């Protein structure tokens, strides 16, 4: 599993507002205390989740955390969520099994279940202040595969499109999918968010053909570009967040 810190861009691609925190140049956000959103995926040796389902579940976990009442207003997680979003938008994916997973589940957070995947998302923590139960979990060492070719995406609903030219670990892609889901969430109206939330945050994750990918990156949809801290080059475009309400 690998981690990703924050999607950023050295220029302003289509779909990325000028005031977005997803950029490459140094800003005031770098002077703020830096936080990270921890995600832990449950991987037992004998029954690992399917890769695409893990990506979908990680993206849904980010949306569940963003929309939880504890993350808003005067909720118990609201301040740390604001602090996290005021700095770089970092996410790190780690893996756990057995007793490690049970200990992680005892910490405050939310477990989101997919078809075969379980992902627990936790309130943001300082970069150097991880709870010991999470700090000792592995970031690398295990990857995931799809035992069968993934089903075609539901084009009538939200789709997170992955760059077909990048070779990323499952953990890296989970973090990127979470970034894409967050960008889509930020762009939606309150009514559109409510509708998506009440439906259970349905979404697809898919890798398009190269020609289609190029069309998507200039379509005006939100684009995730990576800071290049792990695995891929800075400025790499990783995900296009496609939501029906955002299609022009």
Q: What is the pLDDT of residues 62-85, one digit of tens each?
A: 999 999 999 999 999 999 999 999
pLDDT exceeds cutoff 50 at 156: yes
- Give the Å distances, CA to CA, from 13 to 22, 24, 234: 11, 12, 14
pLDDT bin (cut points 50, 70, 90) of residue 225 is: confident
Rounded Cα–Cα distance for residues 23 and 7 (Å): 7
The confidence score (pLDDT) of residue 64 equals: 98
Per residue in 188-205, is it b (16+ CB within 10 Å) or e — as a string? Answer: beeebbeebeeeebebbb
Task: Give the mean pLDDT of the chain.
Answer: 87
Q: What is the pLDDT of residue 32?
A: 66
pTM of this prediction?
Answer: 0.88
| Token code pair at residue 158 | 């939200």
Q: What angle do CA 23, 209, 196 make, to 5 degrees?
A: 60
């Amino acid at each position: 599993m690998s981690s990703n810190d924050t999607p950023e861009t050295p220029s302003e691609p289509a779909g990325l507002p000028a005031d977005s925190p997803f950029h490459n140049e140094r800003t005031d956000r770098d002077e703020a205390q830096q936080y990270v959103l921890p995600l832990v995926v449950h991987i037992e040796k004998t029954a690992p989740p399917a890769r695409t389902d893990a990506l979908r579940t990680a993206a849904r976990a980010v949306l569940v955390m963003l929309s939880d009442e504890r993350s808003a207003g005067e909720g118990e997680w609201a301040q740390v969520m604001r602090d996290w979003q005021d700095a770089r938008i970092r996410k790190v994916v780690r893996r756990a099994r057995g007793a490690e997973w049970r200990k992680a589940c005892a910490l405050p957070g939310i477990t989101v279940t997919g078809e075969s995947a379980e992902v627990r998302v936790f309130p943001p923590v300082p970069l150097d202040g991880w709870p010991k139960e999470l700090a000792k979990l592995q970031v690398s060492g295990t990857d995931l595969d799809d035992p069968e070719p993934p089903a075609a995406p539901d084009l009538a609903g939200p789709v997170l499109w992955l760059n077909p030219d990048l070779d990323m670990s499952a953990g890296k892609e989970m973090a990127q999918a979470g970034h894409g889901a967050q960008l889509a969430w930020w762009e939606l109206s309150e009514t559109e968010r409510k509708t998506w939330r009440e439906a259970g945050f349905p979404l697809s994750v898919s890798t398009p053909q190269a020609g289609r990918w190029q069309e998507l990156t200039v379509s005006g949809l939100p684009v995730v570009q990576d800071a290049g801290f792990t695995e891929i080059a800075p400025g790499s475009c990783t995900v296009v967040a496609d939501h029906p309400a955002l299609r022009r």
